[in-house]
């Protein structure tokens, strides 16, 4: 009961954030210097034409009136019409987002699998070679630009070894493996480091030191027991990853030609399609908020202390 209550409270508390997100994007695209309508038409657009177009799009009204119209539209699922595709933005997003979801989920699986594995190995073999290798591997993931990993994987595993398709989504889930690895590796580092430090904390360094002093490695069962407790902060970090996964998805979708939200954003930018850009960024952000919400809820379910406090 109290869990349900805290979940509901969390959902409610994210509503002002949601409104803020829409407002911020709306303002950035309309109020910052370099008026987006002017940008849409090129900076040398004739003044009378700009005014005419602005009037057609209702942009001559005060911004808060336009904002109200846009927000009330959002509640009915109306995100405007794409200038480039001549289709409702909501329809385009509905067509593109499953790709991004599949990519992000698989990348998250990679990040968590690699990150937790590296973290556990490093913790078990603290200060030995395996620890350094594990930490080095995950730190490298943070440091190598995603596009480089993606291009090298595409070349080696898809082109040279032919294990995976080079691009596109036609061949099903297998198409997402390489983009997911490229994307996931970059997020694995923080998961690995956190897993390692929380594991060490939970197990107690003294215990490991003793075990090692006796010439034994740390028993797996102990690690697994500790891992269970160590998972709680890790879940929080995973939620943070959603945001960076969506950022990285823009790049991997470009390199592997996946038709997802990231490509839609790039398309919207190169086509100066303000409604589409606005819609897809807002949608991506809603995904982040939702992901955080889920993580928060999981967190409160998993950790009794939080539940009590909440």
Partner 1 sequence: MRKHLAFVLVLAMFMSLAAIPAYAAEEEKVLNLAAESDILTMDVALTTDDYFIPHNVFDRLFEIKVQPDGSTEIVPSLVADYSVSEDGLTYTFKLVEGVTFSNGEALTASDVKYTFEHLLTVPGACNYDIAQEVAGAQALLDGEAEELEGIVVEDDYNFTLTLEAANAGYLAELTSPAMSIIDKETVESVDGFGMEPADTIGSGPYIVSEWVPNDHFTLTRNENYWGEAPDADVVVMNVVPDANTQNLMFQSGELDIIDLDALDASIIDSVYKTTYADSIVPGYRVGVTFMSMNENNEFLSDVNVRKAVQMAIDRQGLLDNFYGGDGIIQNGMIATGVWGHNEDLEPIVYDPEGAKALLAEAGYEEGEISFEFSLDSSSGDTTAMVYQQIAQDLAAVGINVDIVSYDESAWLDFRRTEEMPAFIGTWTMDYNDPANILGTFFSNSTSGRSLNYADQEIKDRVDAASSIMDDDERMAEYQAIEEAIVVEDAAVVPLYERAHLFCIGEKVESFVPHWAGFSNFFVRDVEMK
Partner 2 sequence: MALFRKKTDVISADLASQIGESEGLGVQLRRMARKNKLAVASAVFLALLILAAVFVPLLSPYDAVNGDASIRLQAPTAAHWLGTDEMGRDVLTRLLYGARISLAVGVVPTLISMVIGVALGVVAGYAGGKTDYIIMRLADVMLAFPSLLLAMVIMYTLGDGVMNIFLALALVGWASVARVARSETISLKETEYVQAARSIGVSPGRIILRHILPNCLPALIVLFTLNIPSAILSESSLSFLGVGVKLPNSSWGLMVNMGRQFLYNAPWISLAPSAAIMLVVLSCNFLGDGLRDALDPHLNNE
| Contact positions vs partner 2 (CB under 8 A) | 10, 13-14, 16-17, 20-21, 24-25, 28-29, 32-34, 36, 39, 43, 127, 139-140, 142-148, 151, 155, 190, 194, 197, 200-201, 205, 236-237, 239-240, 243-244, 246-248, 250-251, 254, 265-266, 269-270, 277, 281, 284-285, 288-289, 292-293, 296
* 283 touches partner 1 by CB under 8 A: no
Closest to partner 2 by CB, 76 or 270? 270
* 174 touches partner 1 by CB under 8 A: yes
Residue 231's CB is within 10 A of a number of other CB atoms, namely 19
| 264 within 8 A of 96, measured Cβ to Cβ | yes
Binding residue for partner 1, selected from 16, 34, 62, 172, defined by CB under 8 A: 172
Cβ at position 50, least distance to partner 1 in Å:
11
DSSP 80: -
| 6 within 8 A of 293, measured Cβ to Cβ | no
Cβ at position 46, least distance to partner 2 in Å:
19
| 277 within 8 A of 265, measured Cβ to Cβ | yes
Q: How far apart, in Å, do the first and last CA atoms of the chain sit?
A: 11
Closest to partner 1 by CB, 106 or 146? 106
Alpha-carbon distance 5 to 148, whole Å? 46
Residue 92's CB is within 10 A of a number of other CB atoms, namely 24
* 79 touches partner 1 by CB under 8 A: no
Q: What does residue 218 show for φ and ψ, rounded to 5 degrees?
A: -70, 130
* 84 touches partner 1 by CB under 8 A: yes
Residues paired with residue 81 on neighbouring β-strands, in sequence order: 88
* 51 touches partner 1 by CB under 8 A: no
Which residue from 175, 263, 191, 252 is spatially nearest to 227, judged by alpha carbons? 191
Binding residue for partner 1, selected from 86, 216, 305, 308, defined by CB under 8 A: 86
Partner from partner 2, partner 1, none binding residue 289, C-beta < 5-8 Å depending on class: partner 2
Partner from partner 1, partner 2, none binding residue 303, C-beta < 5-8 Å depending on class: none
| 166 within 8 A of 154, measured Cβ to Cβ | yes
Helix/strand/coil for 169:
coil
**Which x/- pattern, by CB under 8 A, does the window 96-135 give for partner 1?**
x---------x--x--xx--x-------------------
- Give me 151's structure tokens: 């291009």
Partner from partner 2, partner 1, none binding residue 267, C-beta < 5-8 Å depending on class: partner 1
Q: Which residue in the block uniquely carries the two structure tokens 């904390």? A: 201
Partner from partner 2, partner 1, none binding residue 112, C-beta < 5-8 Å depending on class: partner 1
Alpha-carbon distance 64 to 70, whole Å? 10
Which residue from 160, 156, 235, 252 is spatially nearest to 195, judged by alpha carbons? 235
Interface residue list for partner 1 (CB under 8 A)? 39-46, 84-87, 92, 95-96, 106, 109, 112-113, 116, 154-155, 158-159, 162, 165-177, 227, 231, 254-257, 259, 263-264, 267, 269-272
């Amino acid at each position: 009961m109290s869990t349900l209550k805290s979940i509901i409270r969390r959902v409610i508390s994210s509503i002002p954030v949601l409104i803020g997100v829409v407002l911020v994007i709306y303002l950035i695209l309309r109020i910052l210097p370099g008026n987006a309508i002017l940008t849409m038409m090129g900076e040398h657009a004739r003044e009378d034409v700009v005014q005419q177009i602005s009037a057609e799009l209702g942009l001559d009204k005060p911004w808060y009136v336009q904002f109200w119209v846009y927000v009330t539209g959002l509640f009915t699922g109306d995100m405007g019409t794409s200038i480039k595709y001549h289709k409702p933005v909501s329809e385009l997003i509905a067509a593109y987002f499953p790709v991004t979801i599949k990519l992000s989920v698989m990348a998250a699986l990679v990040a968590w699998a690699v990150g937790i594995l590296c973290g556990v190995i490093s913790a078990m073999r603290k200060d030995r070679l395996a620890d350094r290798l594990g930490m080095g591997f995950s730190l490298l993931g943070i440091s190598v630009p995603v596009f480089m990993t993606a291009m090298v994987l595409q070349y080696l595993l898809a082109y040279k070894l032919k294990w995976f398709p080079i691009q596109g989504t036609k061949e099903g889930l297998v198409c997402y493996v390489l983009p997911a690895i490229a994307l996931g590796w970059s997020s694995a580092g923080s998961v690995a480091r956190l897993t390692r430090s929380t594991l060490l904390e939970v197990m107690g360094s003294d215990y490991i030191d003793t075990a090692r002093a006796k010439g034994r490695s740390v028993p797996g069962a102990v690690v697994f027991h500790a891992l269970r407790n160590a998972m709680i902060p890790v879940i929080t970090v995973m939620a943070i990853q959603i945001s960076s996964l969506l950022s990285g998805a823009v790049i991997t979708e470009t390199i592997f030609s996946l038709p997802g939200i990231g490509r839609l954003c790039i398309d919207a930018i190169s086509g100066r399609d303000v409604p589409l850009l606005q819609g897809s960024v807002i949608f991506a952000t809603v995904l982040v908020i939702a992901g955080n919400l889920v993580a928060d809820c999981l967190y409160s379910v998993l950790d009794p202390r939080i539940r009590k406090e909440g």
